[in-house]
Structure formats: structure tokens, C-alpha cells
């Protein structure tokens, strides 16, 4: 029995399915993707650095903590070559993620985002196990000398939550599903295992 009709039907179905998948990807790709202004991001490094990294981070995510430690080391070794911007992407599965982002943003509004971020990351294994992480965050705030009055006002400021949610929405629009997700010179890289070779490659290119 000739298989030709069956092969033709198969090819037709494959072609149609490809059209559907790429059509959906194209449609999703042209959905408006608002980006936060740079005033809303938390950045360090030279603005003109050859390697620009935007990271969507959940401050309670252990993989993000490992990524932060790695980036801290690599940026210390190559201070002029790398710029890092953080955007909040708290995951629903991390009960303290949103609160951690709120505290971090309030620290940012007092010009102390990175000290607060570094302390959060270093102590993550401790506070992530707590039922209520508020005392741990308050302690860090006290240690880095955040103004308690301003902090209190900020923590109740709805614009902080709105900013975190907008950042999360931006990540979703870009296809972020998990953390840490990095955009290295615009290229999406998820997780430290993929980030390391990408950075090694780019740094080698810079040296040439």
C-alpha cells in the first residue's frame, strides 16, 4: 500500500503545527514590553561597561544567592568591564521574597541598596527558614544604619509594592519564568551554569 498520501498528510500537519507555534511566538514577541526607566533599577558598575547585565532576582532564591556571589567576585576582578542592574522578580513559592524586595527597595530609597542586598544574600540561609523574616530584615536595616522613621514610612508606601509588581510584570513579558534570569548584553541567560560560560566568553572577547 502506497505511503505517499500518509507522508503528504504528515508533512502538511508538521507545516501547519510549525506555523501555529511560530505564529504564537511572533504574536507574543510583538506584545508591548514596557521597560522600567533606569531610575527604577538598582545598578552598579560603569555605565559604559562592555558587558551590561540585567538580572531578574528573587532575594530568597538560593540560586540567586550563588549567582550574586559569583557576580560579586567577577566584578571585583573586572570592575570596568561589567555593569549589573537588578530588577525584582519575587516568586510565589518564596514566602519572604516579596517582603525582602520591599525592604531592599526601601534601602535603595535611602541610598543603601547594595549593602542591604549583600547582607540579605549572605544571611539568606538563616532568614529564609524563619516563619516571620521581618525581625531579620529589621536587624539588617539597623546594622546598615537605615533611618528607622523613613524606613517605616517606606514600608507602608504603596508605590514600593507597585514598583516590585511592575518589575515582575516586565519580567513576565520578557518570558522570565525562574530566577536568576540574566540579560547579558540583551541575550537571555538563565541560571549560573549558563551565565558563567557566557561571561567567560565575553571577557575573553574584550581582552582580544
Partner 1 sequence: MFDCLRKLKNSRYPLSRIMIGGLFVVSGFEKLVGPYQNFLYVIQNYSFLPFFLGEIAARLLPWSEFFLGIFLVLGLWTKWTLRAVMALLLMFMGVVIQALIRQLPITECGCFGGLISFPLPVILALDTTVFVFAWFLSFRMEEAERCSLDRYLARNESA
Shortest distance in whole angstroms from residue 191 CB to partner 1: 4
The smaller minimum CB distance to partner 1, of residues 13 and 80, is found at 13
**Runs of H (alpha helix) within 37-147:** 62-77, 97-108, 113-122, 124-127, 134-143
11 lines the binding site for partner 1 (CB under 8 A): no
The residue among 198, 177, 197 whose CA lies nearest residue 186 is 198
Question: What are the angstrom distances between the C-alpha of 127 and each of 35, 112, 136?
Answer: 31, 20, 6
The residue among 190, 170, 169 whose CA lies nearest residue 35 is 170
x-or-dash pattern for partner 1, window 147-186, by CB under 8 A? Answer: ----------------------------x-xx--x-----
CB 111 within 8 A of CB 145: no
Burial label, 166 (beta-carbon count in 10 A; 0-12, 13-18, 19+): middle
The smaller minimum CB distance to partner 1, of residues 52 and 179, is found at 179
Shortest distance in whole angstroms from residue 113 CB to partner 1: 26
Three cell numbers, residue 150? 523613613
Question: Which residues in the 14-43 window bind partner 1 by CB under 8 A?
Answer: 14, 17, 21, 24-25, 28
CA–CA gap between residue 93 and residue 48 (Å, rounded)? 36
Shortest distance in whole angstroms from residue 96 CB to partner 1: 16
Residue among 57, 74, 189, 199 that touches partner 1 (CB under 8 A): 189
131 lines the binding site for partner 1 (CB under 8 A): no
Question: Which residues in the 77-106 window bind partner 1 by CB under 8 A?
Answer: 93
The smaller minimum CB distance to partner 1, of residues 5 and 48, is found at 5
Residue among 31, 32, 193, 207 that touches partner 1 (CB under 8 A): 193
Shortest distance in whole angstroms from residue 179 CB to partner 1: 10
CB 178 within 8 A of CB 190: yes
Burial label, 197 (beta-carbon count in 10 A; 0-12, 13-18, 19+): exposed
What residues make contact with partner 1 under the rule CB under 8 A?
1-2, 5-6, 9-10, 13-14, 17, 21, 24-25, 28, 62, 93, 175, 177-178, 181, 188-191, 193-194, 197
Amino acid at each position: 500500500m502506497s505511503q505517499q498520501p500518509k507522508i503528504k498528510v504528515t508533512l502538511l500537519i508538521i507545516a501547519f503545527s510549525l506555523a501555529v507555534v511560530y505564529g504564537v511566538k511572533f504574536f507574543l514577541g510583538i506584545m508591548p514590553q514596557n521597560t522600567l526607566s533606569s531610575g527604577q533599577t538598582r545598578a552598579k558598575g560603569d555605565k559604559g561597561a562592555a558587558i551590561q547585565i540585567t538580572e531578574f532576582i528573587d532575594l530568597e532564591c538560593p540560586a540567586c544567592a550563588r549567582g550574586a556571589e559569583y557576580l560579586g567576585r567577577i566584578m571585583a576582578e573586572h570592575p570596568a568591564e561589567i555593569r549589573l542592574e537588578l530588577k525584582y522578580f519575587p516568586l510565589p513559592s518564596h514566602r519572604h521574597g516579596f517582603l525582602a524586595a520591599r525592604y531592599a527597595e526601601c534601602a535603595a530609597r535611602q541610598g543603601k541598596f547594595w549593602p542591604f542586598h549583600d547582607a540579605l544574600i549572605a544571611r539568606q540561609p538563616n532568614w529564609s527558614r524563619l516563619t516571620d523574616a521581618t525581625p531579620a530584615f529589621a536587624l539588617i536595616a539597623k546594622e546598615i544604619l537605615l533611618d528607622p522613621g523613613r524606613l517605616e514610612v517606606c514600608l507602608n508606601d504603596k508605590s514600593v509594592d507597585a514598583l516590585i509588581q511592575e518589575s515582575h510584570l516586565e519580567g513576565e513579558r520578557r518570558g522570565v519564568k525562574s530566577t536568576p534570569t540574566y540579560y547579558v548584553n540583551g541575550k537571555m541567560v538563565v541560571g549560573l551554569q549558563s551565565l558563567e560560560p557566557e561571561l567567560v566568553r565575553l571577557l575573553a572577547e574584550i581582552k582580544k
